[in-house]
Amino acid sequence: MLCFGVAWFLAAVSSKKLGAFKSLFLFQLVGIPFFVFLIPFASFNFSINSLYGVLALGLYEALIMMVIFHATEIGTVSVVGPIIDSYGLFALPLGILFLNEQITLFKTLAAFLIFIGVVLLSLNTYKKSLNVHKGVLPALIGAFGTAIYFIFVGVLARQVGWFINALVIRIGISIVLFFVLIFRKTDFKKLFSNNIWKILIPAALLDVIGFSLFNVSVLQSKISYATVIISAQSFIIVLLSWWFLKERLKIYQIIGLFAVVLGLVILSL
């Protein structure tokens, strides 16, 4: 959660300079070479056929990311943001239905607290008028699609190992975004000459570490629990925005911070 939060905070900073799709493409692409340093910790036990499923999951996640970006473009961020960040709550019933995970009432309460905290952290009430219809449908699709994505990440990690899973998914996402940028007639020479590497390189490194650790964690714990914890990355993003970007925290965001912390403590018991 910590690595994810810092990584996506830095990625958000870079997206303001490059645009969402260009930043996301470089963010994913730059992370691939870092897997070389993780090889000594990896185990390899997979078949070629299983790699197709992992690659397909990477392609799928790239499409979900585009749906999410579409939701933020056409909708009000203060409305669609909390919906998108609620994917952790969708993961619980998916884990019960498809993975036969046993979820206790105590753990369900913890997940609900994290969900409430994430919603409060994601809210933005600076804008007076809200259109609750625009962007809500793609935001719901994005949240549900993200929950499905993390469930399958966990399932495939148990089949092919955490290293191959994390690496091939990243390659799949990069491939889709590469063709999206070609379709948008992107000047790649200009793109790679941008002076944002001091932001993107640490962001990509932390994301590789964070996603790899998530893959490792689902080998030993319930996938739905791990997904709920990952969804609390907005906790880190809000704190970093407050500290480095001097963004003011409102009362409901402070309440959200406490709700996330309390939920994480209960979930770890």
**pLDDT at position 177:** 93
Average pLDDT of the chain, as a whole number = 82
CA angle, corner 18, sides to 191 and 201, nearest 5? Answer: 75
- b (16+ CB within 10 A) / e for 77-109: bebbbbbbbbbbbbbbebbeeeeebeeeeebee
Sort 36 into a burial class: Cβ within 10 Å, 0-12 / 13-18 / 19+: exposed
Distance, in Å, from the CA atom of 169 to the CA atom of 16, rounded to the nearest integer, reads 25
Report pTM.
0.81
- Look at residue 181 in the predicted model and tell me its pLDDT: 94
Encoded tokens for 12 = 């958000």
For residue 81, the model assigns a pLDDT of 64
Q: Which of 173, 195, 211, 150 is nearest to 6 (CA)?
A: 211
Does position 254 have pLDDT exceeding 60, yes or no?
yes
pLDDT, position 128? 47
Q: How far apart are CA 123 and CA 76, in angstroms?
A: 10
pLDDT band at residue 77 using 50, 70 and 90 as cut-offs: low
Average pLDDT over residues 89-99: 85
For residues 154 and 216, the answer to whether their CB atoms sit within 8 Å is: no
* pLDDT average, residue stretch 74-94: 72
Domain ranges of the chain: 2-268
Query: Between 165 and 269, where is the model more confident?
Result: 165
What's the token pair of residue 69? 């970006």
Residue 83: band (very low, low, confident or very high) from pLDDT cuts 50, 70, 90: confident
Report the distance separating Cα 224 and Cα 154, nearest Å: 9
What does DSSP assign to residue 249? P
Say how far apart CA 196 and CA 198 lie, in whole Å.
Answer: 6
pLDDT, tens digit, 9 for 90 and up, residues 119-168: 777 665 544 444 445 677 888 898 899 999 999 999 999 889 999 999 99
Report whether pLDDT(206) > 80: yes
